[in-house]
Amino acid sequence: MNKLVVGVVALFATLAPPAMAQQAVASLETSRIVIAPPQSDLARIIKEGLSTAYYGTRAGTAAHDDAQRLYFLYGARHFEPIWLTRDSAGKIGFSPSADKIIALFRDAEAEGLQPGDYLTPAIELNRIPRNATAMAGLETAFSAAVMRYANHLHNGRIRPQSVSENFDIKPKPIDEAALLARLAGSDDPAAVLGELEPRHPQFLALKAALARFEDDAADRPAPIAQGPVLRPGNSDTRLPAIRERLKLTASTSAAYDEATVTAIKDFQRGLGLEVDGIIGPATIAALNGGPATRREDIIANMERWRWMPADLGAFNVVVNIPEFRLAINRDGREEYTTRVVVGTTKNQTPIFSDNIRHLVVNPYWNVPSSIIRGEIAPAVMRNPGYIDSQNMDLLYNGSAVSPWQVNWSQVSPSNFPFRVRQRPGPGNALGQIKFLFPNKHDVYLHDTPSKGLFSRSLRAFSHGCVRVENPMEFADALMANEANISRASLEAMFGPSERWVNPQTQIPVHLTYFTLHVDADGSIRNFGDVYGHNENLIAAMGLAAAPAPAIIADAEPIPDELSP
């Protein structure tokens, strides 16, 4: 029994109190603590286990604080169980609140969760043991199941880093003891637990799409498989299914004929894709939206919404990597949008949230060490004139040195003692402006001289940073709340010298990875899985046998350029 209780208390120690539960925590901490003596054998067993956990931890630690709160919570109840109750005939069973929570467990699939994560046989079948120690174990096991369900609602089932280390996301805290206290005194535990769900409109729209998924099953076509990029005149066994998706006259021909090319161009034009008649990964992903959307895609995107901060900020920037798009939102409404270029599958843009703190006009580009080792060091060792040709400085201990004065026979790419920066100018890889949110990944938003890439449908070409198609328009929209900063004032700074601009208010920025978007009419757009994160998550959730590889745009080779 003690091990069971200690295990539950250890679970409580993993998370700290959130804003949602601060009031409940304050009421527990500021009121006079009364430890009422147990009045039944079951209560005495519960007290013994909680007491062991409480006094067995070191004061001042999170484990001690959480054990203390749980001990006080049960102590105020004479250590009587929360979930087990005795009826008028003296029979012990689950309480009405527990029965309501069991109903939530059984309906977990409606939340994109798994009932089996919470329903042990004893809980599912309402099997209450006769032995007091076993009853106490069931009580604590139920509390553990409730906390697991609460955490899955709030943070998702899967640890983001198990999908990819490029998810730099921490779980949102829950004060589990305070939550138990609220549930114990509530006639509507579903409403209490519902507060932990994301309130983001896209999450709610995906949940609604999941609810009607089976109703739409009869009209759902099979997804079109990824495969070779198709150009006019090619042949492919997927063409009949593609024609059917485009509502063309049925044909079994595998030829990519003129009529299908025209229909594909119309389809691309309608979705804002590059209108080239080429059926590549982005076009296949778009064809697999709407009725062809898979149930597992909906659940995986709901899971990633659970990883997001509960509050994105009233005025915020969202970059959606699979969509290759940036948006500025105010009070939930989109105010501005533009195309972006993100990292390649080798140099992926990380997924995290931060705050834009600085705008830098005429920026230097401090070249990352990975680019120096992989590209610049070999080039300058072959030709010392490479540094000047790229408008760069070679720095040693912070001072510029001439590459012609270096004995390059004593240097190797793996032992390169120099830093490199590119001076401001028309050819600077960061263009005329960058938007900084200092982070351990050293990524940011910036301008670029390589404008041609924005016309591509699949725009994964950078070394990890996010290139913005219309940076000065973006800057103007971004500074809408700053009385002294505007596009005009920023453009007046253009020149040879780097200039830093610091807004009075930091702006939340979220680099996200959502492969689905639900439009206002309920239709679903699919943007494809450029890094393979979606399929990896589907596999981790047990919804598919094996992950599919990330999309590689063999029709759109990465340009031979230096760029962040």
Nearest Cα neighbor of 152 from 323, 302, 267, 313 is 302
Q: Where are the alpha helices (DSSP H) in 348-480?
A: 369-371, 377-382, 386-389, 471-478
Exposure class string for 73-82: b at 16+ Cβ within 10 A, else e: bbbbbbbbbb
Judge contact between 312 and 300, C-beta under 8 A. no
Q: Which of 64, 152, 463, 465 is catalytic?
A: 465
Is 425 strand, coil or helix? coil
Tell me if residue 510 is catalytic.
no
Nearest Cα neighbor of 242 from 280, 271, 298 is 280
- Copy the structure tokens of residue 419: 């830093």
Residue type, 440: K
Residues 6+ apart with CB under 8 A from 554: 228, 229
Judge contact between 424 and 362, C-beta under 8 A. yes
Nearest Cα neighbor of 536 from 555, 515, 554, 517 is 515
Q: Which of 446, 463, 510, 517 is catalytic?
A: 446
Please give the Cα distance from 538 to 41 (Å, whole number). 46
Nearest Cα neighbor of 418 from 427, 426, 429, 410 is 410
Tell me if residue 446 is catalytic.
yes
Judge contact between 196 and 154, C-beta under 8 A. yes
Cα separation values, 459 from 369, 452, 456, 558, Å:
24, 11, 6, 9
| Residues acting as catalytic residues | 446, 465
